[in-house]
Each structure stands twice: as C-alpha cells, then as structure tokens.
C-alpha cells in the first residue's frame, strides 16, 4: 500500500515536471542532448 502511494506520488511529481519542461520548450525553443555534443558547433556567435 505504502509502495503504491509512493510510486503514484513519484509519477505525479514527474508528470508535473515534464509538463513544465514541455511548456518551457514551446516558449523558449529547443535544447537537446546534442547542444553540447556538437563536434563542430554552428558559428552563429563570436
């Protein structure tokens, strides 16, 4: 019983966090695993 409640709490918390991330993604644009993985980064900068 306690395990089930803890598991559900964890799922609920994670869902909320993922939802916040998704909204942030839509607002500010994407950031993906590769941003710091690029072997040669695009030079839209200095």
Partner 1 sequence: MTVAAPPVLRTVALVGNPNTGKSTLFNRLSGLRQRVANYAGVTVERRVGRATLGNGEEIRVIDLPGMRSLAPRSPDERIAVDVLLGRRADTPAPDAAVVILNALHLEIGLYLLLEVRELGVPVVACLNISDEAERAGIAIDRGALAREMGVPVVRTIATRGEGMDELKAEIARATLLPRVPPVPLPEPLHGMCDRLRGAWPGTPGDAEIADALIEGPEADGIPDGVRDALRNVRGIETGGRLRDLVVGARRRRIAEICALAVRRAPADPRRDWTRRLDRTFTHPVAGYAIFLAVMGLVFVAMFWLAQFPMDWIKSGISALQRGTVAAFGAGDLSSLLSDGVLEGVGAVVVFLPQIALLFIFLGILEDTGYLSRAVLLLDRPMAAAGLSGRGFVPLLGSMACAVPGVMGTLVIPDVRERLVTIFVAPLMTCSARLPVYSCLIGVVILGAPWVQGLVLLGLYVLGAGSAFSLAWVLRRARRRAARTDFLVELPPYRWPTWRTTGIQLWQRVRAFLRRAGTVILGIMVLLWFLEHHPRSADPSRQLEESYAGRAGKIVEPALRPLGHNWKTGIGILTAFFSAREVYVGTMGTVYGVDGAGDDATELKERMKAERDPATGRPHWTLAAGLSLMIFFVYAMLCSSTVVTVFRESGSWRWALLQLGVMTGLAWVAAFAVYRAASAAGWGVLP
Query: Which positions from 7 through 46 interact with partner 1, judged by CB under 8 A?
Result: 7-8, 10-11, 14-15, 17-18, 21-22, 25-26, 29-46
- Residue 9: CB minimum distance to partner 1, A: 10
DSSP 40: S
Structure tokens at 2: 């306690």
Structure tokens at 45: 């900068």
DSSP 44: S
Which chain residues interact with partner 1 by CB under 8 A? 3-4, 6-8, 10-11, 14-15, 17-18, 21-22, 25-26, 29-46
């Amino acid at each position: 019983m306690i395990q089930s409640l803890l598991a559900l709490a964890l799922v609920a918390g994670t869902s909320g966090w993922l939802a916040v991330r998704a909204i942030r993604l839509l607002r500010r644009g994407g950031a993906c695993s590769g941003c710091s993985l690029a072997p040669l980064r695009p030079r839209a900068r200095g």
